[in-house]
């Protein structure tokens, strides 16, 4: 296949928020603040869970949550730093290799988020529908295999999608109307036949999107059916509090993800599509720690103890130096 154009051009232009030239400083400050909050919040979740043995020993859900927080950090770090550099330097160029790297990691960590949410839905299903056998079913070996399987499937799926882009050649128009290398937008710039690429993309959407969402919906249909059979108000409250945080994150992640694809299908490359991508890739990872820390009393207690220890340690260090 002819690949001359690809090697000659070699670079893409990320237009992103190019039209908002008067608001560059505001956008830079806003996105930098969101990124720092995302990193700090998710790191606190990981530190809180790793420092409290009761959380990950007696509640496997928190083991999955720490992996989700790590995936969110990597997911947002794939696109936001490059966008901040672009806004600051006004250099919108990204190399072909850099574009492929973004596609690989954005797809991998996006799929990993989806699969981990599915695993967490299964965990909630076992906890509520089979509470007496919960620790037997969700043993450390199974939890480790579920997380390892999620990582492997995400990486292999992302690698497959990225490698199929290598076979393409590109035209002279190399402008991507987003702030990162969105795979669907990159395919639109190709002069080659993208039939195989579209097949791979649809296949990944079904396997890593539709199937996990179906698993989440099935798990929660069983959970709600079990909840309705609980007669006591205390039991109902406990069941809803157990699922509330995870269900909020699932709704947020799947809702914004669905919004991205629906908006891009209805109005391709529009401002609305760009805003949907910001919600999906930046706002959702930022809100996840708040949802879990504010809605979960165990996380609030453990986080409070972690901050108290950090404060005490800091005061002790200051006292020694004084």
pLDDT of residue 202: 85
What Cα–Cα distance (Å) separates residue 307 from each residue in 37, 42, 138, 294, 310?
16, 15, 30, 15, 5
pTM for the model stands at 0.85
280 pLDDT higher than 60: yes
Mean predicted lDDT score pLDDT of the chain: 81
Main-chain phi, psi angles of 40, to 5 degrees: -65, -45
pLDDT for 26-74, tens place per residue? Answer: 888 999 999 999 999 999 888 888 887 777 666 788 889 899 999 999 9
Q: By the 8 A CB rule, do 207 and 42 touch?
A: no
pLDDT for 68-117, tens place per residue? Answer: 999 999 999 999 999 999 888 888 899 999 999 999 999 999 999 999 99
**Nearest Cα to 264, choosing from 194, 173, 182?**
182
3-state SS of 244-312?
A: HHHHHHHHHHHHHHHHHHHHHHHCCCCHHHHHHHHHHHHHHHHHHHHHHHHHCHHHHHHHHHHHHHHHH
278 pLDDT higher than 60: yes
User: Which H or E element spans position 183?
Assistant: helix 183-188
Domains of the chain: 4-296 (1.20.1070.10)
């Amino acid at each position: 296949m002819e690949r001359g154009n690809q090697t000659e051009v070699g670079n893409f232009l990320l237009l992103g928020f190019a039209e908002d030239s008067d608001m560059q400083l505001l956008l830079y400050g806003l996105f930098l603040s969101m990124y720092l909050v995302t990193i700090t919040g998710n790191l606190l979740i990981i530190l809180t869970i790793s420092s409290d043995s009761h959380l990950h020993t007696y509640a496997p859900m928190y083991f999955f949550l720490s992996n989700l927080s790590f995936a969110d950090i990597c997911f947002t770090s794939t696109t936001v730093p490059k966008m901040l550099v672009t806004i600051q330097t006004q250099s919108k160029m990204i190399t072909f290799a850099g574009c492929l790297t973004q596609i690989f990691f954005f797809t991998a960590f996006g799929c990993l988020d989806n699969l981990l949410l599915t695993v967490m839905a299964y965990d909630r299903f076992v906890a509520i529908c089979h509470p007496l056998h919960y620790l037997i079913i969700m043993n450390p070996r199974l939890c480790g295999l579920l997380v390892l399987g999620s990582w492997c499937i995400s990486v292999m799926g992302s690698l497959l999608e990225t490698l199929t882009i290598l076979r393409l050649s590109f035209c002279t128009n190399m402008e991507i109307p987003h702030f990162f290398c969105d795979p669907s937008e990159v395919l639109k710039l190709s002069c080659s036949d993208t039939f195989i690429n579209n097949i791979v993309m649809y296949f990944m959407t079904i396997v890593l999107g539709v199937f996990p969402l179906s698993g989440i919906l099935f798990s929660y249909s069983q959970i709600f059916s079990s909840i309705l059979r609980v007669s006591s108000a205390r039991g109902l409250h406990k069941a809803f509090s157990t699922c509330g945080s995870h269900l909020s994150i699932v709704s947020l992640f799947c809702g914004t993800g669905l919004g991205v694809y629906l908006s891009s299908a209805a109005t391709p490359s529009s401002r609305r599509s760009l805003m949907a991508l910001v919600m999906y890739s930046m706002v959702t990872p930022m809100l996840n720690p708040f949802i879990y820390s504010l809605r979960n009393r165990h996380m609030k207690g453990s986080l409070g103890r972690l901050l108290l220890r950090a404060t005490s340690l800091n005061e002790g260090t200051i006292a020694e130096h004084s």
